[in-house]
A and B are shown apart, each in its own frame.
Chain A
Amino acid sequence: DTEVTQTPKHLVMGMTNKKSLKCEQHMGHRAMYWYKQKAKKPPELMFVYSYEKLSINESVPSRFSPECPNSSLLNLHLHALQPEDSALYLCASSQGYPGATNEKLFFGSGTQLSVL
């Protein structure tokens, strides 16, 4: 299984809602990532988990809360989002430690989030 699976594929939420994005991989990868991508822009790194511990937080607002329950799962909890948070949220994984060189990322198809 070489897939990273993200659910849901589409999500519409109001600014007062609480929702969660889910990501799952069964490749035995030990690093997992959240990226945010606005239309016609490159993906921007949000969070990195390494061996189920949060390793990198790119100064992301607290209304985004990541969670890594186990080595196969990654969640992104959303609360009190703003319309400008509307974007494609991409999950990715890589085999080893994020500090290792020559690591390539495997991406899920993303969740297209609209905040009304």
Chain B
Amino acid sequence: SQQGEEDPQALSIQEGENATMNCSYKTSINNLQWYRQNSGRGLVHLILIRSNEREKHSGRLRVTLDTSKKSSSLLITASRAADTASYFCATAMFSGGYNKLIFGAGTRLAVHP
């Protein structure tokens, strides 16, 4: 089963609005990462938040982590049409001596001009 679950599955907003995506996970983590994927393309790493961090910022991105609730959120402020993409959270599961990065189901964001 997937380590991370995201909601909403799809989000449609107007340019200039904020977009919030949530991710829940099941097991203890060392860090949680967010990736972005434009349609039919590879994933691009956005931000990594460590388990001992509660909030992190990068440009228009704000990520929070609540380890007690096993959840994270990604906020994109002042959205642009170019932010239209799928956003995935990813957590590392330690298995067989390795940390395997497992992706959540993703949120498809559409930003309309």
A99:B106 contact, CB within 8 angstroms: no
- The stretch that binds A, out of B67-75, B76-84, B96-104, is B96-104
| A4 proximity list for chain B (CB < 8 A) | 42
A45:B42 contact, CB within 8 angstroms: no
Closest to B51 in A: A101
Interface residue tally on B, bucketed by range: 20 to 34
A102:B98 contact, CB within 8 angstroms: no
B43:A48 contact, CB within 8 angstroms: no
A48:B42 contact, CB within 8 angstroms: no
Q: How far is the CA of A98 from the CA of B31 in the complex (A)?
A: 14
| B106 proximity list for chain A (CB < 8 A) | 41-42
Chain B interface residues (CB < 8 Å from chain A) = 2, 30-31, 33, 35, 40-45, 48, 50, 88, 92, 94, 96-106, 108
Chain A interface residues (CB < 8 Å from chain B) = 4, 6, 40-45, 48, 50, 55-56, 88, 90, 92, 98-110, 112
